[in-house]
């Protein structure tokens, strides 16, 4: 589940990114990006990288810093730990690790809220690939921490699919390429390591739409290749959005890709509703 564009890894320098702070300890690392003059009680978004990647890479290619500047929210890019094979990951109830990332990410959100005066009622999480898996885990396992989640090219782990029963279902956004061969949209992911076991993403989206008691669905084609589904009128105003991109693989859709989906914009548009 390694991200796109890792042939040449780009690192932002502090001189070009004065409002980003990298917090490095002996155990965990995160980068916090705060736009200049961010007001008190602004929203917070946690951004989770993919398998084998890191927070800095996701900060580079996701476009979320630019979205934060425009819309006024803070973004934290935490780093996962290494699994038993030595690869950086998030433990979305997988069999490759014993790391408790549910507790870590929940505590990180609370710490950032307190330290930087960010809004506990408007804290969200999204992830790419393995980070998308982890976002679903947090939706299943946490309560009153994240107001909504988004997954880009991720899915639910087999364990999460078979055991997810959240007390308070949250809004969910899912973005996936029909031609994804790393995390196949049809649910044919190998069960090895606990990665596979969930069905077609269409069924996963329906599961969350039902959990949120949505009562209407709108279908829109966004040229040239995105089919968007909007499940609305759910409990507490919750919604579930699904962007299915034809002729698209295991990649982050950005403005240069011209798919009809710019992930950073769609993610914030979705989160901002809640």
Return the pLDDT at 9: 28
- pLDDT in the model for residue 191: 94
Give the residue from 118, 140, 129 showing the smallest Cα distance to 47.
Answer: 129
pLDDT of residue 22: 53
Q: Is the preceding omega at residue 215 within 30 degrees of 0, hence cis?
A: no
Distances in whole angstroms, Cα of residue 130 to Cα of each of 78, 190, 191: 13, 14, 14
Angle at alpha carbon of residue 166, lines to 125 and 59, rounded to 5°:
10
Residue 272 buriedness (CB in 10 A; 0-12 / 13-18 / 19+) = middle
Residue 76 has pLDDT above 80, yes or no: yes
Q: For residue 172, what are its two tokens?
A: 């969910």
Average pLDDT over residues 73-82: 98
Domains of the chain, with CATH numbers? 14-272 (3.40.50.1820)
pLDDT at 4 over 90: no
Q: Tens of pLDDT along 171-205?
A: 999 999 999 999 999 999 999 999 999 999 999 99
Cα 127 from Cα 47, distance rounded (Å): 6
pLDDT in the model for residue 20: 54
Q: Residue 149 pairs with which residues in a beta bridge?
A: 125, 172
**pLDDT (tens digit, 9 = 90+) per residue, 227-261?**
999 999 999 999 999 999 999 999 999 999 999 99
Paired with 123 in beta bridges are: 44
Alpha-carbon span 131 to 64, nearest angstrom: 15
pLDDT given at position 21: 54
d(CA 76, CA 78): 6
7-40 tens-digit pLDDT: 222 223 232 333 455 554 446 899 999 999 999 9
Q: In the prediction, which pLDDT does 23 show?
A: 56
pLDDT mean over 148-168: 97
pLDDT of residue 84 exceeding 50: yes
Q: Please give the helix or strand (H or E) that residue 232 lies within, else none.
A: strand 226-232
Rg (CA), the chain: 17
Average pLDDT over residues 100-118: 98
**Distances from the Cα of 161 to the Cα of 87, 204, 207, 266, angstroms:** 24, 8, 10, 25
Which residues touch 148 (CB under 8 Å, ≥6 apart)? 124, 170, 171, 172, 173, 270, 271, 274
pLDDT recorded at residue 27: 67
> Which residue, 197, 152, 164, 175, is CA-closest to 1?
152
If you average pLDDT over every residue of the chain, what do you get? 91
User: Of 80, 142, 85, 137, which is closest to residue 110 (Cα–Cα)?
Assistant: 142
């Amino acid at each position: 589940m390694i991200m796109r564009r890792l042939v040449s890894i780009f690192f932002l320098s502090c001189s070009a990114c004065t409002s980003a702070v990298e917090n490095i300890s002996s155990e965990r690392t995160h980068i916090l990006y705060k736009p200049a003059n961010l007001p008190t009680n602004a929203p917070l978004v946690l951004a989770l990288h993919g398998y084998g990647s890191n927070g800095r890479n996701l900060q580079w290619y996701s476009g979320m810093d630019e979205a934060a500047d425009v819309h006024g929210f803070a973004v934290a890019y935490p780093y996962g730990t290494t699994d038993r094979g030595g690869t950086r990951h998030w433990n979305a109830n997988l069999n490759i690790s014993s790391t408790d990332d549910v507790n870590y990410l929940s505590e990180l959100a609370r710490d950032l809220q307190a330290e930087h005066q960010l809004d506990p009622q408007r804290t969200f999480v999204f992830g790419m690939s393995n980070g998308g898996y982890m976002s679903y885990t947090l939706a299943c396992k946490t309560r009153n921490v994240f107001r909504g989640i988004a997954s880009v090219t991720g899915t639910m782990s087999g364990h999460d699919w078979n055991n997810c029963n959240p007390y308070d279902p949250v809004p969910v956004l899912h973005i996936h390429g029909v031609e994804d061969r790393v995390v196949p949209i049809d649910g044919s992911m190998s069960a090895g390591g606990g990665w596979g076991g969930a069905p077609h993403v269409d069924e996963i989206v329906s599961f969350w739409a039902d959990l949120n008691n949505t009562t209407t669905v709108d279908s829109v084609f966004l040229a040239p290749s995105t089919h968007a589904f909007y499940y609305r009128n759910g409990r507490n105003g919750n919604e579930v959005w699904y962007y299915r991109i034809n002729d698209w693989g295991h990649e982050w859709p950005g403005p240069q890709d011209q798919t009809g989906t710019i992930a950073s914009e769609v993610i914030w548009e979705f989160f901002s509703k809640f």
